[in-house]
Amino acid sequence: MTQPLFFKKKAKQPLSIVLSCKHYKNQVLLQCSQCSEYFPCRFCHNQAKYDQEKDPKKQHELKTWEAKAVSGYKCGVCGNCQDVGKASCERCNSKFGAYWCLKCHIFENDLTKKIYHCDKCKICRQGGADNFKHCDTCGACISRVAFDTHKCQENTLHSSCPICMNDQFNSIEQSIFLPCGHSMHKECFKDLSKHKYQCPLCFRSFCDMRMNDKALEREIESTPMPEEFRSKKVQILCNDCQERSQVFFHILGAKCQGCNSYNTRQL
């Protein structure tokens, strides 16, 4: 007797598809040395074992670039488990990824990411080795387009993004450098620049504010202060040039006597 359609077994899905990961396109699982469990990548591991782990004693992160952090690989094609050290399966010879780095345990089939390993950063980066140059002072790879003009900040990426507070140095999200030398994630900067013009760390302007300053100056000139405040003077500090000035008080703002910026604060 023929089985009803709803009793028929579903076709078995290939293991390489079942083990897919939104962060990397590859055919391998990494075994964490601490919990001995397999995950498609460190981000998947950290989400499960740190972000979603309710027991603080069990929380831990997988930092694949650290020695002996990864204890084994599982092939995403045939399921074979093996020791680290090879970029292909010992059983079926399937490559784990078109790009591989056995130092960082990264495998990737999407070559458009242009992943490369920086020996000075000691981790893999995206964007292509030809497009970046390592800055020893900043302790990170800087775009060659901005390298000659960027302002160095010692180990600037070895800190959390001031907007989302997530790690920058080991993040897959691109970071950008502001004129002051501080850095943040590119997407965080896009959101910030919609309503702010100051670096959240040092308050220096990160864009040309001359047009806005002229508009503010016209508004100040057309809005005189009440008689009792017209002779009042205050001390101000310019966030852009760090000059101190003594100027007449106005509720709308105060202009730096050094660089003419209105990005000032009262002392």
CB 58 within 8 A of CB 88: no
CB 51 within 8 A of CB 61: no
Q: What are the pLDDT digits (tens) for 171-214?
A: 878 888 888 888 899 899 999 999 889 999 999 999 999 999 99
Confidence category of residue 6, pLDDT binned at 50, 70, 90: very low
Domain ranges of the chain: 13-113, 122-192, 210-266
Q: Is the pLDDT of residue 16 over 50?
A: no
pLDDT value at position 166?
87
**In the predicted model, what is the mean pLDDT of residues 214-235?**
92
DSSP-derived letter for residue 22 is S
pLDDT value at position 130?
95
Q: Is the pLDDT of residue 14 over 70?
A: no
pLDDT value at position 174?
81
**In the predicted model, what is the mean pLDDT of residues 220-238?**
92
Confidence category of residue 134, pLDDT binned at 50, 70, 90: very high
d(CA 64, CA 115): 16
Q: What are the pLDDT digits (tens) for 80-111?
A: 999 999 999 999 999 999 999 999 999 999 99
Fold of domain 210-266: Rubrerythrin, domain 2 (2.20.28)
pLDDT value at position 200?
93
Q: Which residues of 17-51 are buried (b: 16+ CB within 10 A; e: fewer)?
A: eebeeeebbbbbbbbbeeeeebbbbbbbbbeebee
Q: What are the pLDDT digits (tens) for 39-92?
A: 999 999 999 999 999 999 999 999 999 999 999 999 999 999 999 999 999 999
Of 132, 178, 186, which Cα lies nearest the Cα of 156? Answer: 178
Q: Is the pLDDT of residue 2 over 60?
A: no
Q: Is the pLDDT of residue 8 over 80?
A: no
Of 100, 105, 92, 104, which Cα lies nearest the Cα of 16? Answer: 92
CB 254 within 8 A of CB 247: yes
pLDDT value at position 5?
38
> Does the predicted TM-score (pTM) go above 0.85?
no
